[in-house]
Amino acid sequence: MCRIITPDNGGEGHVHAHVDTPIGVAELVRDSLVQELTSMGDLMAHWHMIDHVEAKHALIHALESKRVVIGNLYRTMREAEERALKDEGEHSHSHGHHHSHE
């Protein structure tokens, strides 16, 4: 996870705190998305290895559910990123820092 949210507290481990900033939300949701994608990969591998029809069918339903969860997490992450970029853009531009978009 990004160290902006959970900085190493001088070698004492990560500090975990509640976040409400767009960048903080995006980072935490991104971490959840990575975990879900890893889990999806494992589930898909198990589905591929199993020959039992009922078990394979149950795993297909689990995979379908995971796809919905992953889609929701991705959408939430993108929305938080957009808010963070918008907030940063307003902050940067309010201090006379301009970007050329040519």
Mean pLDDT of the chain: 84
Q: Over range 20-49, report the average pLDDT.
A: 95
Q: Give the span between the Cα atoms of 90 and 29, in whole angstroms.
A: 23
Full-model pTM: 0.70
Give residue limits of the domains in the chain.
Answer: 22-88
Q: Give the span between the Cα atoms of 2 and 5, in whole angstroms.
A: 6
Q: Over range 48-58, report the average pLDDT.
A: 97
84-93 long-range contacts (CB < 8 A, ≥24 apart) are: 84/21, 84/22, 84/23, 84/26, 87/22
Bridge partner list, 14: 8
Q: Over range 76-97, report the average pLDDT.
A: 78
For residue 40, pLDDT over 90 is answered with: yes
Q: CB–CB of 59/46 below 8 Å?
A: yes
